[in-house]
Amino acid sequence: MELNAHSGCHQQIVTIDDIFFSYENKTVIDGLSFSVLERDFVGIVGSNGAGKTTLLKMIVGLLKPTRGEIRMFGQPLSTFRDWDRIGYVPQKNALNPLFPATVREVVTSGLYNKKTLLRRLSPSQRSKADDALYAMRIEDLADRRIGQLSGGQQQRVFLARALVNNPELLILDEPTVGIDAETQAGFFRMIRHMHEHHHIAFMMVSHDLDMVRSYLGPEPEHQSRGLGFYVKHTHAPENCRETDLSHSRQQLRETAEAWS
Ligand SMILES: Nc1ncnc2c1ncn2[C@@H]1O[C@H](COP(=O)(O)OP(=O)(O)OP(=O)(O)O)[C@@H](O)[C@H]1O
């Protein structure tokens, strides 16, 4: 059933309409249709090479489907410009320890776009960055160089960067790779808390099937050529997502606490 992209509480955030993708002669995505509604949590699983990262890259516009169309908030990707509404944390790459940016600089870089690149940050933007550092419990790392942090700490920094614009959709590509089991558990508690309390939709690639099933249910809602999509729909209250996305200090404190 094709839902109206603007129908109140169940607005489609991402609409994937019969897309195909090939690298040279190798077909990776083959006629995939799927949609993510406001406040859904979608866990994407599949074996190595099944096309999970390729799919996320298409959704954020880094790759173009060979055929078919992706729409964001009802708008074709080719004309979509509202990227502030989406946070994306790519698959972890080891950062060069000499990479000179500090944690605060990396987080605030999420606030810049083409229009604001040359402007100074306003006080309210600075306080957004402080909030994101606080929620990810990395305030005390703010002046450290990111390249000198552990993998788990770097992941928190990239999450804070993705969160700084209060996105409506957060796209995470294997966010806990290389992170110890205890930190992973804290990470998932925090993600879950954000989903339940901050009204953000998630698309998350994960190899942790136990975690995916425990939160999203035992069976995938949709399967396509080696990819499984586990989904938790969250029925929005009367007003759908609150229009004021600036999180209260209390909400941020609870998110910070969910780590432990
Ligand atoms: N730039 C590229 N050029 C050619 N082939 C590629 C390229 N990137 C990925 N592939 C191939 O496309 C397929 C899908 O890759 P992709 O990274 O999307 O898989 P994945 O499901 O994310 O895998 P993993 O679980 O290992 O991260 C793989 O067979 C991969 O080798």
Query: Where would I find the beta strands (DSSP E) of 52-127?
Result: 67-72, 75-76, 86-89
Low-confidence ranges of the chain (pLDDT < 70): 1-10, 93-98, 113-119, 235-252, 259-260
57 CB less than 6 Å from ligand 1?
no
Q: What separation in Å is there between the alpha carbon of 54 and the centre of ligand 1? A: 6
CA–CA dist 67, 257 (Å, integer)? 44
Which residue out of 28, 32, 207, 224 has the highest number of ligand 1 atoms within 8 Å of its CB and is therefore the one to mutate?
Answer: 28
The residue among 83, 28, 24 whose CA lies nearest residue 59 is: 83
| Residues 6 or more apart in contact with residue 243 via CB below 8 angstroms | none
What SS3 state is found at 145?
Answer: strand
| Residues 6 or more apart in contact with residue 75 via CB below 8 angstroms | none
Residue 230 DSSP class: E
Q: What are phi and psi of 17, to 5 degrees?
A: -120, 95
Query: pTM for this structure?
Result: 0.87
pLDDT tens digits along 3-36: 344 445 568 899 999 999 999 889 999 999 999 9
Q: Specify the pLDDT at position 2.
A: 38
Residue 51 DSSP class: S
What SS3 state is found at 138?
Answer: coil
Give buried/exposed letters for 122-137 (b at 16+ CB in 10 A, else e): eeebeebbbbbbbbbb
54 CB less than 6 Å from ligand 1?
yes
Q: Whose CA is nearest to atom 4 of ligand 1?
A: 23
CA–CA dist 191, 173 (Å, integer)? 13
53 CB less than 6 Å from ligand 1?
yes
Q: Are strands 41-45 and 201-205 parallel, antiparallel or unpaired?
A: parallel
Q: What separation in Å is there between the alpha carbon of 64 and the centre of ligand 1? A: 15
Q: Specify the pLDDT at position 52.
A: 96
Q: What separation in Å is there between the alpha carbon of 28 and the centre of ligand 1? A: 8
Q: Specify the pLDDT at position 9.
A: 58
160 CB less than 6 Å from ligand 1?
no
Q: Whose CA is nearest to atom 6 of ligand 1?
A: 23
Q: Specify the pLDDT at position 185.
A: 86
Distances (CA, A) of 24 to 21, 27, 149, 156, 227: 9, 8, 37, 35, 21
Residue 56 in tokens: 């996320």
Q: What are phi and psi of 75, to 5 degrees?
A: -105, 135
203 CB less than 6 Å from ligand 1?
no
65 CB less than 6 Å from ligand 1?
no
Residue 141 DSSP class: G
CA–CA dist 103, 56 (Å, integer)? 25
15 CB less than 6 Å from ligand 1?
no
Domains of the chain: 8-258 (3.40.50.300)
Measured from the Cβ of residue 67, the count of other Cβ atoms closer than 10 Å reads: 12
Distances (CA, A) of 183 to 73, 85, 148, 255: 33, 27, 18, 15
Q: Whose CA is nearest to atom 16 of ligand 1?
A: 51
Q: Whose CA is nearest to atom 17 of ligand 1?
A: 53
